[in-house]
Structure formats: structure tokens, C-alpha cells
Amino acid sequence: MKVTLSVIKADIGGYVGHSESHPDIIAKAAECLNKAKKDGLLIDCQATKCGDDLQLIMTHQKGTSSYDIHKLAWDTFVEGTKLAKKMKLYGAGQDMLKDSFAGNVKGMGPGLAEMEIEERISEPVLIFMADKTSAGAWNMPLYKMFADPFNTIGLVIAANMHNGFTFEVHDVKDHKKIRFNAPEEIYDMLVLIGAAARFAVKAVYHRDNGEIAAVSSTERLYESAGRYVGKDDPVCIVRSQGIFPAVGEVLEPFAAPILVQGWMRGSHMGPLMPVALIDSTPSRFDGPPRVICLGYQLCNGTLIGPRDMFADKSFDLARQQANEMADMMRRHGPFEPHRLPLEEMEYTTMPQVMEKLNGRFQSLDAPFKTKAPASHEQ
Ligand code: F6R
Ligand code: MG
Ligand code: MG
């Protein structure tokens, strides 16, 4: 049976500030989705959250980029925005960049990951959702899952994975895409995906049969809006077991926290902390960035689950390490590498400061025209 799994998300208002989603907003979204399920548009659905992002998880048979499904998601966000405005939640409608629906939510503010699959005899899927970070955050984890034998032993000892995977990489600034075959092209691929602010892994495919293994959201809100309006807070769907990495191989990259872009004002590097759903409440310096993972068994499109995968005790040490990394980064205050390079910051006062200082800059070998303060005089 062919089933499409669509995860569409948007920040339509935070509680308190940008730290969480209000339960009434999630309940409102669940109401909208359940109505669509009753009407037969959806096979199954769940509304959930990661930090201040509302997440719509839907199964159906309309394929990817379906007008009906995207319209349902858009209308659900519109309804949620109305409620968020009524409750005066923070940043109500923040990711709704357009006034009316234009056929596809892509480029309109929300983020999305969708895959159409032939459901296997048993179909375990893992849905990752992150807050206070951007699409490139999935690059290293996806690389480790599907190309690194130190993470995924199946690449070495499982015959059905030994030929490797194909990676689809998007240049999010120049709007181009390219495919790489792992393992033989990993060095070329790493040149690109190591620059995670520009190149994002969009999808991964099994090389023997072309089956889709993973898909991520690669939207960059500032590209859509023409200005920065919030980091993208990306999502990613990964199929698991059998010809794909085992659940433990898919989760393993998150046991060693890495630094990603985002955090306070979308302008910092910080550790990506794997947490249980209940702990996706980024509060320290609006962070540090969080990732949750909900696991499901698909059953003829029905979502059996979720299991809250990072609730497991074995991720306690990763959380501890992420907190220590957060401390170490915070020590830098407004200095790089905690603060992002100028061109990557979501907030900047650089144009105003440069405007103010205009005329005060002189060439290095010219004597200062203005007199130095007394303490600097020789
Ligand atoms: C980062 C984020 C927050 C806000 C910060 C300032 O993605 O959402 O760190 O950038 O709280 O928010 P405003 O400008 O809305 O007061
Ligand atoms: Mg927000
Ligand atoms: Mg968010």
C-alpha cells in the first residue's frame, strides 16, 4: 500500500516568549486535523510541538506536495494563529509569511518534510523535530547514519546496506541540487555539507533500489521572506530497520552533541541537545537548541505511537555534555565562534554601526586626524 507521510510545521505563536507552544494551540490543531481524518482526507494524524513550533504529522494517500494536504496545514496554522492572537501569545503568526494560500506551503513560511512510500511488512519511522536551529543541523547526523561505518555498523556487516546510499544535497542560497553516492564520493560531498549554512542534505536514497530512506526540510525562512524572520527549526523523517539503519543506528549520532547555528536571536552557535518531548522548552539564553525524536510503526497508514525516543536514559550523558558545551560557548558572550559570522546572524546592527562610524575609518598608514584621548598619547 502506498502511503504519504507529511510533517508540516510552523511557529504561529510562543508561550512564554519563544520557549514553548501553548497546549490550547496544539488542541486546536488536533481538532482541525481530526476533522480532516473524519472527512477521509487523512488516514491518521497527530498534532504536537517542539519548543515554540507547532508540528502537524499526517498520513494520507494524496502523494507529496498535495494541494489538499498543504491547504489543510495552512488552514490549521491560520486557525491556530487566530487563537494565538486572541490569547496574545508571543509572535502570533510569526511564520505565516503570506496572506493567502497559493497552492503549496513551500516558500510561504512553514517547513515541511514529506515522503511517499510503499509500506513494508513492518515500517518503523523516526520523526526528528528541532527548535532554535536551522536546516543544516541534520547534515552531520544524516551523514553518520547513512555513510559513517563508525556510527552505522550495518554499512559494513549487513549485506542489504553494503552498497551504500545516495545523498541529495541542496544549495539553499543558489537554489541548486546535486546527488552524491556514498561511500565513493564522500570526500567531495563533505566539502559541501560540512558548510551546513549553505548546503543541506534534503534526502537520502537506498542505492540498490532507489527507495527513499530520509527526507528533511531545507527551507530557509530568510530566503523566503527576503529578510531573517527566525531560524528554520527543521524537521526530518527517517525510515528504519531492514534495508535501512536500525533504530539504534539512526539515534546514535545524537549521543554525541554537536554545535549548530541558532540559539538566542538565531545568531549563535550552540549544542544540539536531544531531549524528551516534555523537555523541548528552550529557556536558557533561549536554548540551547533542542531536538526531539518521535518513533512510530506505520500500520496501513495508521500512526502507531509515538514512542518518545530521546526520553531514554542512555541520552542523559549527551544532555549533560550539551549543558557543559553550552556553558563553554556562553563564556564567549558576543564573540565568535559563539556569535555567528556577520553574514549568518539573524539580528544585526552592523549597517547602523557602520553608518555611524562612516568617516572615522582611515587607512592604516595615515596618522589619525582626530587627537587620541589623553591616556593614549605617548
Ligand atoms: C531564536 C528565537 C529567540 C528570539 C529572541 C528575541 O530563534 O526565537 O531567541 O530571537 O527571543 O525575540 P524578539 O525579537 O521576538 O523579542
Ligand atoms: Mg517563536
Ligand atoms: Mg521555533
**Residue 312 DSSP code:** S
228 assigned to active site: yes
Contact (CB, 8 A) for 263 and 299: no
pTM: 0.96
Q: What is the pLDDT of residue 100?
A: 92
What is the CB < 6 Å shell around ligand 1?
A: 17-18, 91, 132, 230-231, 264-266, 286
Contact (CB, 8 A) for 236 and 138: yes
Burial, 347: exposed, middle or buried (Cβ in 10 Å; 0-12, 13-18, 19+)?
exposed
Q: In one letter, which amino acid is 43?
A: I
Q: What is the pLDDT of residue 228?
A: 58
Distance between CA atoms of 325 and 59, rounded to whole angstroms? 38
Taking all residues of the chain, what is their mean pLDDT, rounded to a whole number?
94
Atom index in ligand 1 nearest the CA of residue 91 equals: 15
Q: Which ligand is nearest to the CA of 54?
A: 3
Catalytic residue among 132, 148, 231, 233, which? 231
Q: What is the pLDDT of residue 145?
A: 98
Over the chain (378 residues), the average pLDDT of each successive run of 10 is 97 98 98 98 98 98 98 98 98 93 92 97 98 96 98 98 98 92 98 96 98 92 63 94 98 98 96 98 98 98 98 98 98 97 88 90 85 60
11 assigned to active site: yes
Distance between CA atoms of 277 and 49, rounded to whole angstroms? 8
Helix (H, G, I), strand (E, B), or coil: what is residue 234? coil
Q: What is the pLDDT of residues 129-184, one digit of tens each?
A: 999 999 999 999 999 999 999 999 999 999 999 999 999 999 988 889 999 999 99
Helix (H, G, I), strand (E, B), or coil: what is residue 196? coil
Catalytic residue among 28, 228, 233, 286, which? 228
Q: What is the pLDDT of residue 223?
A: 65
Q: What is the pLDDT of residue 351?
A: 87
